[in-house]
């Protein structure tokens, strides 16, 4: 197997601390059995293995690239490592100035390429967070899940959303921060009257500050105090409330003293919901691990001020050959690359590989010393045992769910290969569908399944442009031509610069019968591609082949038919969703959409100011220019365009 050993060119590398990473290129055709040691630098860095289609299939790092890469051509190799080397057609590397930079470089390359032979971390559930939208003028507290957003401060994660709501129920009595949606907030602002939460003292009424008297500075202080309390800094809040209660009582202002007493009790009740695990008010993260040869489960308890503020779990596919210290080191890198909050102490069950490099890197992120330790005795050891027990329980639950799921997918793909006469199970399947309800807004969809599961990052939507009227066959031809012309074009590019659209499927499924399948055959023949393809008819669930006169009826209830149905239904759903979005956009379009310089933000600002298009049309340019983001010149253009549209409508109606 021939290969090219080369360093990645700078134009193809992610923008990672460019002042400390040196991109260097090495070119030499060598046998893949073992590159010449002189061609590989004896320096820290990251390396990438690529397959025949140019996809990155594995990313690693090393303190010495020369020594690390030499290990891949020593025998015997672990079966997983051997499978990776057998699938590879080339190896590349990037030289870094130090081990910390190599660690960061490896993480970013894995995030960029998602190699299939690197271990994969995934949350074992979508955990809810208590979030403060600090980027807004009047921030709110709310429950958030999913991808973290910018300018939002997160606390948790919590085990259940109701736990967050119980916490907010107590804390809004102490910190009157709004919890309403932006839509409701704007509604109250237009009405000029705060909601019931203001009347009962649970919100300071920022929706109508002129009526409630709240200022941005005072409100921001409440938000910051709530954030500090949730972060574990609760003592100043409790002392301040006790002091205010005592002072009010001393002045014989007993109603005010009772209000401070109630706030103090609410704050203590919120603290009681956080489990006290350490006598000393320490800040640390505790990592627990349960594992077998194929998978592992991690649990992390976030302890701030001696109390558990949150917990979260991950499941790991061990597609990479890592021992326990290497696995823990890899997890710590993954965890703190994604988290901004780094505590001064991290407790782990086993000392991680590269502990010194990790501590140096984490200390840089925190701005002060970070220690990674294995607890040996006392309260911290007991806490570690609790976290490890949680990891074991989560691992057992995952195994019960996975036992049938993984086996069913493997059986279904193998059965599908047997039914369709394929040489091997189709690990990547692409399905195409056309959606239209008339002569306009015809769209197409491409969905991708890998290993029997939807790979939504590879889904694509097509707006059919070159087909007049309603013609499913011509629309299918346009969509497939565009997709496979892109495939051919991408495969002509150098391996390192290919994109995701360049990966050929193992099987193509078109939604339809003989007609749609003949279109697919014509497009593939024209592109010079030889890819198995079938048509799946809806009426009788019959499978059509390009070289067989009669369709195949796969037995009802078979797992192979379930895969095809799931694939076809997903393509149909994706196409219908896109078609509906286009129709809704067209139905909700307005003359403002046609005016250069008026985008969604300015359109919202104009509608918020004037309330309707009719009132905006009646406004003078000077009034329009008073809208935030709209200058005098744009106001004149808006006024002219709206009146031109009105005149045109009157002529058409006449």
pLDDT recorded at residue 5: 38
* 219 vs 171, higher pLDDT: 219
Listed ranges 117-131, 474-488, 548-562; the one with the highest mean pLDDT: 474-488
Please, which pLDDT band fits residue 448 given cuts at 50, 70 and 90?
Answer: very high
Residue 9 covered by a domain: yes
Q: How confident is the model at residue 317 (pLDDT cuts 50, 70, 90)?
A: confident
Residues 608 and 515 in one domain: no
Q: What's the domain count of the chain?
A: 5
The pLDDT value recorded for residue 430 is 94
Local confidence band at 449 (pLDDT 50, 70, 90 cut-offs): very high
Highest mean pLDDT (candidates 15-19, 151-155, 490-494): 151-155
- Give the dihedral of Cα atoms 286, 291, 295, 301; nearest 10 deg: -10
**Which of 651, 637, 566, 628 shows the shortest CA–CA distance to 597?**
637
Backbone angles phi, psi at 234, to 5 degrees: -95, -20
- Is residue 30 exposed (0-12), middle (13-18) or buried (19+ Cβ within 10 Å)? middle
pLDDT at 139: 92
- Residues 474, 570, single domain; the answer is yes
| 418 within a domain of the structure (yes/no) | no
Q: If phi over 0 gives left and psi between -120 and 50 gives alpha, with beta otherwise, what is residue 421?
A: left
Q: How far is CA 281 from CA 232, 278, 608, in A?
A: 9, 7, 49
Of the residues 97, 118, 139, the one at which a domain ends: 118
Residue 608 tokens, joined: 């918020």
415 occurs within a structural domain: no
Which of 305, 296, 534 has its CA nearest to residue 398?
A: 296
Domain residues for the domain of 326 are 284-396
Judge whether 169 and 177 are in contact, CB under 8 Å.
no
Task: Report the share of the chain in percent with pLDDT over 70.
Answer: 84
The predicted-structure confidence for 370-423, as pLDDT tens digits, reads as follows 999 999 888 888 888 888 988 888 887 777 666 556 667 788 888 899 999 998
* Rounded mean pLDDT, 514-531: 92
Whether residue 104 sits in one domain with residue 25: yes
- For residues 237 and 321, state if they share a domain: no
Q: Is residue 81 part of a domain?
A: yes
Phi, psi angle pair for 298, to nearest 5°: -110, 145
Q: How many helices (H) and strands (E) does the chain have?
A: 20, 23
- Report how far residue 32's alpha carbon sits from residue 13's, in angstroms, rounded to the nearest whole number: 23
For residue 358, give both structure tokens: 């990790």
Quick: pLDDT tens for 579-598.
777 776 665 567 777 788 88
Q: Are residues 55 and 133 in the same domain?
A: no
Does 401 reside within a domain?
A: no
Top pLDDT among 497 and 608 is at 608
**Is residue 411 assigned to a domain?**
no
* 142 and 236 housed in the same domain: yes
- The tens digit of pLDDT for each residue in 198-245 reads 888 889 899 999 888 899 998 998 898 888 877 767 677 777 777 778
CA dihedral sign of residues 154, 159, 160, 166: negative
CA-to-CA distance for 197 and 161, rounded, in angstroms?
Answer: 21
What pLDDT score does 202 carry?
Answer: 85
Q: Could you tell me the CATH number of the domain that includes residue 494?
A: 3.30.420.340
Q: Where a domain ends, among 64, 95, 118?
A: 118
Residues 645 and 596 both lie in one domain: yes
Whole-number Å distance between alpha carbons of 443 and 582: 9
Domain boundary among 70, 95, 118: 118
Residue 246 vs residues 172, 173, 227, 257: alpha-carbon distances, Å: 22, 19, 25, 7
Classify the phi-psi angles of 502: left when phi > 0, otherwise alpha if psi is within -120 to 50, otherwise beta: alpha
HEC sequence for 94-125: EEECCHHHHHHHHHHHHHHHCCCCCCEEEECC
Same domain, 295 and 439: no
| DSSP one-letter string for 7-46 | EPPGGGS----TTTEE-----EEEETT---GGGS-SS-EE
For residues 60-73, give the mean pLDDT.
87
Query: Is residue 46 domain-shared with residue 113, that is, in the same domain?
Result: yes
Q: What is the pLDDT of residues 191-201, one digit of tens each?
A: 889 998 888 88
Cβ count near 418 (within 10 Å): 11
**277 lies in a domain?**
no
Smallest CA-to-CA distance from 579 within 448, 432, 440, 460 is with 440
Q: Kindly report the length of the chain.
A: 654
Judge if 558 and 452 occupy the same domain: yes
DSSP secondary structure letter of residue 393: H
* Radius of gyration (C-alpha) of the chain in whole angstroms: 31
Angle between helices 254-272 and 161-171 (to 10 degrees): 160
Residue closest to 299 by CA, chosen among 400, 162, 393, 401: 393
Query: How much helix, strand and coil, in percent to the nearest 5, is found in the chain?
Result: 45, 20, 35
How far, CA to CA in Å, does 456 sit from each of 156, 285, 450, 503, 570? Answer: 28, 33, 10, 15, 10
Q: Is residue 412 part of a domain?
A: no
pLDDT value for 21: 42
pLDDT band, residue 252 (cuts 50/70/90): confident
Both 244 and 392 in one domain: the answer is no
16 pLDDT tier (thresholds 50, 70, 90): very low
Place of tokens 């195409």: 432
> In this model, does residue 105 exceed pLDDT 70?
yes
Place of tokens 């300015």: 602
The pTM for the full model equals: 0.51
- Same domain, yes or no, for 437 and 571? yes
Closest CA to 494 of 6, 2, 65, 114: 6
């Amino acid at each position: 197997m021939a290969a090219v050993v080369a360093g990645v060119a700078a134009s193809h590398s992610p923008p990672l601390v460019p002042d400390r990473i040196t991109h260097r290129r090495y070119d030499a055709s060598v046998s893949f059995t073992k590159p010449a040691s002189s061609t590989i630098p004896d320096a820290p860095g990251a390396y990438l293995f690529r397959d025949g289609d140019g996809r990155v299939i594995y990313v690693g790092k090393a303190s010495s690239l020369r020594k690390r890469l030499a290990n891949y051509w020593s025998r015997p190799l672990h079966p997983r490592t051997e499978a990776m080397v057998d699938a590879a057609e080339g190896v590349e590397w990037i030289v870094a100035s130090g081990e910390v930079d190599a660690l960061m470089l490896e993480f970013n390359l894995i995030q960029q390429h998602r190699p299939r032979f690197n271990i994969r971390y995934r949350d074992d559930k979508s955990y809810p967070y208590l979030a403060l939208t600090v980027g807004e003028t009047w921030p709110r507290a709310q429950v958030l899940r999913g991808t973290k957003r910018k300018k939002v401060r997160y606390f948790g994660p919590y085990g259940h959303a109701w736990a967050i709501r119980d916490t907010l129920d107590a804390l809004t009595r102490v910190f009157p921060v709004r919890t309403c949606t932006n839509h409701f907030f704007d509604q109250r602002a237009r009405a000029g009257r705060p909601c019931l939460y203001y009347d009962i003292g649970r919100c300071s009424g920022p929706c109508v500050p002129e009526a409630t008297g709240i200022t941005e500075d005072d409100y921001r202080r409440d938000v910051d105090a709530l954030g500090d309390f949730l972060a574990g800094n609760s003592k100043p809040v409790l002392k301040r409330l006790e002091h205010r209660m005592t002072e009010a009582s001393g002045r014989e202002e007993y109603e005010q003293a009772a209000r401070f007493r109630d706030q103090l009790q609410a704050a203590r009740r919120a603290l009681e919901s956080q489990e006290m695990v350490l006598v000393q008010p320490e800040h640390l993260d505790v990592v627990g691990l349960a594992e077998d040869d194929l998978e592992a489960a991690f649990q992390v308890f976030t302890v701030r001020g001696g109390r558990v503020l949150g917990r979260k779990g991950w499941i790991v596919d061990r597609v990479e050959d890592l021992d326990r210290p290497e696995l823990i080191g890899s997890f710590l890198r993954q965890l703190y690359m994604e988290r901004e909050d780094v505590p001064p102490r991290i407790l782990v069950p086993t000392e991680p590989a590269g502990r010194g490099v990790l501590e140096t890197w984490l200390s840089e992120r925190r701005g002060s010393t970070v220690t990674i330790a294995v607890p040996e005795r006392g309260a911290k050891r007991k806490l570690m045992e609790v976290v490890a027990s949680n990891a074991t329980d989560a691992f057992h639950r995952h195994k019960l769910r996975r036992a049938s799921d993984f086996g069913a997918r493997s059986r279904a793909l193998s059965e599908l290969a047997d039914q369709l006469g394929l040489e091997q199970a189709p690990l990547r399947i692409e399905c195409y569908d056309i959606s239209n309800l008339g002569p306009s807004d015809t769209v197409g969809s491409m969905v991708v399944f890998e290993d029997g599961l939807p790979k939504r990052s590879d889904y694509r939507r097509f707006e059919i442009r070159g087909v007049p009227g309603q013609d499913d066959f011509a629309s299918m031809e346009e969509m497939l031509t565009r997709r496979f012309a892109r495939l051919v074009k991408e495969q002509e590019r150098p391996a390192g610069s290919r994109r995701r659209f360049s990966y050929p499927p193992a099987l193509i499924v078109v939604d339809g019968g003989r007609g749609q399948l003949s279109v697919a055959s014509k497009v593939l023949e024209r592109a010079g591609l030889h890819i198995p393809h079938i048509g799946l008819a809806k009426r009788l669930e019959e499978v059509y082949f390009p070289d067989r006169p009669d369709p195949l009826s796969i037995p009802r209830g078979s797992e192979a038919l379930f895969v095809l149905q799931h694939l076809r239904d997903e393509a149909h759903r994706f196409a219908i969703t896109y078609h509906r979005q286009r129709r809704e956009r067209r139905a909700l379009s307005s003359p403002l959409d046609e005016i250069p310089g008026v985008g969604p933000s300015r359109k919202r600002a104009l509608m918020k100011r004037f309330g309707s298009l009719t009132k905006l049309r009646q406004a003078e340019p000077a009034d329009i220019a008073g809208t935030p983001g709209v200058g005098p010149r744009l106001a004149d253009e808006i006024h002219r365009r709206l009146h031109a549209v009105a005149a045109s409508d009157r002529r058409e109606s006449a």
